[in-house]
Structure 1
Amino acid sequence: MGNPISALTPAADPAAPDPRRWLLLAVLGSAFFVVILDGTIVYVAVPQIQAQLGFTEASVQWVLSTYLLTFGGLLLFGGRLADLLGRRRIFMIGIALFAAASLLCGLAWSAEALLAFRVAQGAGAAIMAPTALSLVLVTFAEGPDRNRALGIWGGIGGVGGTAGLLLGGPITAHWGWEWIFFINVPIGITLLVLCRVLIRESRNPALPRTFDVAGAVTVTLALVLIVYGITEAPATGWASPRTWVVFAASAALMAVFLVIEKRSRAPLVPLRIFRSRRLVGGNIVLLVAGMTVDGVLFILTLYAQRVLGASAVQFGLMTAVMTVMSVVGSFAGQFVVTKRGFRPVAATGMALIAAGSLLLTQLAVDGGLFRNVFLGLLVFGTGLGAAFVGAQVAALSGVRDGESGLAAGIADTFFTIGGALGLAVLSTVAASRTATVLETGGVGPATAMTQGFQSALLVAVGCALLGLLAALILLGTRRVAGTDRARQLSAK
């Protein structure tokens, strides 16, 4: 198997680290930041978009959903495409598509046009995110350097999510909703220029250049359907025939995909990759982490605005504590992973997420944001950073060089589907409990909503405990540095 580092640096020693690797990480991290930013910056602009482009109350949610569906459905495809056709080439294609689609979104003249361009933007993001992470994996050798890079990566994700909440309001208020898309254009152009200067092509020539079209189509449709089903379930009902038809269709397509992969000479996803307990365990923890962070933040957003009357900017500022502590947790986690292994880091992170969610169940109708959410977000953020790094290092360790894009795509897919599932489940629980309390009478809407939010946060505690159990059972205690890297080098 060829050494990927030699594709990125002209150094004579193929095992020598790229001297520009931290600068390259800054470029790749910037692309990841933009993808995460775009997932949240649109939230506060939705009312203005609805008014100017003529969306109905029922259809405006598709401004968010089309991006999520395309992004979640194509992550696996985008990551594998990078392995087969060259990571630098595919990364730059993703950036160009994302920037062009962002420009068209800002220029959209109708609701239908905006939705079409959001699909293209989601496709560009689905190519950028796993390919950028794949380039991180082939640039940083397994061990302390890679763990440090992944710790930074996790911190970038946390900052990107909060930055979207903070920047969306002022940009929309002063310049108009179009500029939440236009700002991506100069960033994309700058990234393309830096890519040409800093990144050399990285591809394993031993991989066949044949492409598993049938596998790509079936798994993409299966993922799109499952994300669609999860997203629509709160509105249509989890027990409705429509919901179960969508889930059944997704399961059938996934079964067909498995059959195709078993018979394919060059499968999109070699099924042997799932024999690794670390990969499976790491992705399960990522799934649960995605459920808790997206679900909890959504519940807290509703609580802040509907119960306490806080603005989106005020809530965004409050969530900064979670961002700061997630960065702290990420950096602490990457240090401990090298010394102690995946399991203690991921397990401690999930335990802290559970504790933070439990503290947040003490929400009250009065008292303000600081008293009700500050301590819970502080603990929650620390756990999120640690759990994300521990799980991601586990899911990406020991992966063959030619499958780094695939592994990155799998990790991103699990985290994204977890986010959609967390939003759907926790919002359903909150709405159901609120309706039940209102039916019994004797309390006002604010109190009923607060009780609904408390119930949803208790579900988040349960989810985090399941993630803790998965970390304890599936993730080994073996340290990252040394053993796996020695095995990889001996196989080359």
Structure 2
Amino acid sequence: MTATIEPTSHTSPAQPGRARALAVLCVMQLMIILDATVVTVALPTIQSDLGFSQAGLAWVMNSYLIAFAGLLLLAGRIGDLIGSKQVFLAGLAVFTAASLLCGVATSSEVLIAGRFLQGVGGALASAVILGMIVGLYPAPADQARAMGVYGFTSAGGASIGLILGGVITQTVGWHWSFLINVPIGIVSLVVATRLLNSRRGLGLSKGADVLGAVLVTAGLSLSVYTIVQTAEPTADLPRTLVLAAAAVALLTAFVLRQARAAEPLLSLHIFRNRQVTTANLVVVLLFAAGFGFQFMTALYLQRVLSFDSLHTGLAFLPAPVLGGVMSLFIGPRLIARFGARALLLVGLTALLAALLVMSQAPVNGSYLTNVVVPLLLMGVGSGVGIPAAIMLAMSGAEPGDAGLASGLNNTAQQAGAAVGTAVLATLAASRTAGRVADGATTITALRDGYSIAFVAASAFVVVALFVGTTLLLRYRGRP
């Protein structure tokens, strides 16, 4: 899979059109990130209004995650074949239309269908965004600043989504958590059509590797489904093992297919570059832990500390504010002085501290005592860690592999967030159910479920720190 790089030789670093194009791409990325989190604080209200069961409510999140994670690689390859601008616009259009469907939903079935379509549109657009940004800003200094903006969009978007979701749900209703995307999406479509460079793709005759696309889409989707279905009352171990084996078999067949295909979706030679491979592994773990932190902290505030939607959203304000300062202003300067590897380790350490502190939050905790410090640590960790990880993944690739590396990195981000959130949410639900069965009160069982999820996310970061330290020591000559 490669992400099509748009030609930019005619564009100077100061040309305002390029900044506006970056803004359009980041707006779409922000919409994607927002939509993955904005409904979190609205879930109790949605459950009440549409009559969801507790098990069924999880599919408001899961239907989006399954479609999103499953289609990323295929969407990236389509971008190569027909052009990244075309795929971006198609994804934006599908996402906008699906948001309208979610916003007018009056039944649980319609909302779940709309969320699935949002995942499809999000995958189409997201798969080509990073490659287009790299093409817009090929110079290292300019690219560092652009990655800072993109990093803030990715890291701050989750917290902003929780804030926005809380405000909207409490003031005008949960429907507007989706409907707000419609005017933004329409304006973005008009602007993107005019601003983004268009480049002819390779052509469908170059091969879409249909078999590879089917294998990876089915394998990734089944992987996410296998994880999330374990929290359902009907789940059992034999069924889960069969599903897991089928997912592994599909993904193994995909890898074997890529090794032999004339025009593979994902050229396996990129994994011979150790820095690219290692950095992308860190990205997967970083996004899995970071998005898990956002999701679990929101649930802790609502279901343990009894915050309403508005106050849950506002409670997250310290994280995006500090994260924005770090990623937009302080982080690029620190990376220039100390290098991306050092800043990556700083970011991971801050995130680890945030998760460990939250894992100890008690039933009778308070926002100021138990939550503010982890949110500030999260802001620092994401503000410097995410841009540094992305830069390491991109800078390690050879110039001829820039598009392939950008597509791989974007897939690592989105798959890490999707699969990580599914794993942690499922682990929390299972732990909570077990504690209730043991006789614990509901609020204690919920707290225990969230605590174990925070510990699991901490384990993700510990592995990322180990891998990142190896990266730091091995590639001293790289940025």
- TM-score normalised over the length of structure 2: 0.88
1:143 Cα deviation from its structure 2 partner = 1.0
**Change over 3 Å in CA distance of 1:219–1:449 after alignment to 2:** closer
The C-alpha deviation readout for 1:184-239, integer Å capped at 9, x for no partner, is 12111111111122111145769973221111111111111111122223446997
**Change over 3 Å in CA distance of 1:210–1:400 after alignment to 2:** farther
AA at the equivalent of 1:355: A
2:158·2:291 contact (CA, 8 Å) conserved in 1?
A: no
AA at the equivalent of 1:100: A
**Change over 3 Å in CA distance of 1:259–1:336 after alignment to 2:** same
Residues in 2 aligned to 1:328 and 1:163: alpha-carbon distance in whole angstroms: 14
Unaligned stretches of 5+ residues in structure 1: 481-492
3-state SS, counterpart of residue 366 of structure 1 = coil
1:477 and 2:467 correspond = no
Aligned to 2:59: 62
Using the TM superposition, name which of 66-75 and 428-437 deviates more.
Answer: 428-437
**Change over 3 Å in CA distance of 1:56–1:272 after alignment to 2:** same
1:364 and 2:370 correspond = no
1:471 Cα deviation from its structure 2 partner = 0.7
Residues in 2 aligned to 1:450 and 1:249: alpha-carbon distance in whole angstroms: 34
1:425 Cα deviation from its structure 2 partner = 4.3
Alignment of 1:171-320 (within 5 A): 171-202=168-199, 209-235=206-232, 240-320=237-317
Residues in 2 aligned to 1:152 and 1:254: alpha-carbon distance in whole angstroms: 33
Residues in 2 aligned to 1:266 and 1:432: alpha-carbon distance in whole angstroms: 42
- 1:25 aligned to 16, 19, 22, which one? 22
The C-alpha deviation readout for 1:345-399, integer Å capped at 9, x for no partner, is 2222111211222233342333521111111221232112222111111222354
1:465 and 2:465 correspond = no
Aligned to 1:379: 377
1:418 Cα deviation from its structure 2 partner = 2.8
3-state SS, counterpart of residue 310 of structure 1 = coil
Residues in 1 aligned to 2:44 and 2:443: alpha-carbon distance in whole angstroms: 23
Using the TM superposition, name which of 166-175 and 315-324 deviates more.
Answer: 166-175
The C-alpha deviation readout for 1:429-455, integer Å capped at 9, x for no partner, is 5556667777887x8654565455444
3-state SS, counterpart of residue 201 of structure 1 = coil
1:329 Cα deviation from its structure 2 partner = 3.5
2:394·2:405 contact (CA, 8 Å) conserved in 1?
A: yes
AA at the equivalent of 2:156: V
1:479 Cα deviation from its structure 2 partner = 4.0
Using the TM superposition, name which of 67-76 and 315-324 deviates more.
Answer: 315-324
**Change over 3 Å in CA distance of 1:256–1:371 after alignment to 2:** same
**Change over 3 Å in CA distance of 1:445–1:211 after alignment to 2:** closer
**Change over 3 Å in CA distance of 1:460–1:260 after alignment to 2:** closer
3-state SS, counterpart of residue 207 of structure 2 = coil
- 2:109 aligned to 104, 112, 116, which one? 112
- 2:36 aligned to 17, 35, 39, which one? 39
Residues in 1 aligned to 2:242 and 2:394: alpha-carbon distance in whole angstroms: 34
1:156 and 2:153 correspond = yes
Using the TM superposition, name which of 298-307 and 374-383 deviates more.
Answer: 298-307
Aligned to 1:94: 91
Residues in 1 aligned to 2:94 and 2:203: alpha-carbon distance in whole angstroms: 28
2:6·2:132 contact (CA, 8 Å) conserved in 1?
A: no
2:134·2:143 contact (CA, 8 Å) conserved in 1?
A: yes
Residues in 2 aligned to 1:330 and 1:10: alpha-carbon distance in whole angstroms: 28
Aligned to 2:325: 328
AA at the equivalent of 2:242: V
3-state SS, counterpart of residue 186 of structure 1 = helix
- 2:386 aligned to 370, 385, 388, which one? 388
AA at the equivalent of 2:149: I
Identity level (%): 38
**Change over 3 Å in CA distance of 1:308–1:173 after alignment to 2:** closer
Using the TM superposition, name which of 76-85 and 337-346 deviates more.
Answer: 337-346
Residues in 2 aligned to 1:365 and 1:6: alpha-carbon distance in whole angstroms: 52
AA at the equivalent of 1:161: A
Aligned to 2:81: 84
Using the TM superposition, name which of 412-421 and 209-218 deviates more.
Answer: 412-421
AA at the equivalent of 2:290: V
**Change over 3 Å in CA distance of 1:5–1:283 after alignment to 2:** closer
Aligned to 1:416: 414
Aligned to 1:147: 144
1:168 and 2:165 correspond = yes
AA at the equivalent of 2:198: E
Tell me the matched-pair count.
Answer: 472
1:351·1:468 contact (CA, 8 Å) conserved in 2?
A: yes
Residues in 2 aligned to 1:92 and 1:162: alpha-carbon distance in whole angstroms: 26
3-state SS, counterpart of residue 7 of structure 1 = coil
3-state SS, counterpart of residue 43 of structure 1 = coil
Aligned to 2:339: 341
3-state SS, counterpart of residue 371 of structure 2 = helix
- TM-score normalised over the length of structure 1: 0.86
Aligned to 1:485: none
1:210·1:266 contact (CA, 8 Å) conserved in 2?
A: yes
1:212·1:264 contact (CA, 8 Å) conserved in 2?
A: yes
**Change over 3 Å in CA distance of 1:371–1:49 after alignment to 2:** closer
**Change over 3 Å in CA distance of 1:89–1:273 after alignment to 2:** same
1:123 Cα deviation from its structure 2 partner = 0.8
Unaligned stretches of 5+ residues in structure 2: none
AA at the equivalent of 1:323: P
1:263 Cα deviation from its structure 2 partner = 1.5
3-state SS, counterpart of residue 145 of structure 1 = helix
1:203·1:402 contact (CA, 8 Å) conserved in 2?
A: no
**Change over 3 Å in CA distance of 1:6–1:124 after alignment to 2:** closer
1:321·1:378 contact (CA, 8 Å) conserved in 2?
A: yes
Residues in 1 aligned to 2:278 and 2:171: alpha-carbon distance in whole angstroms: 45
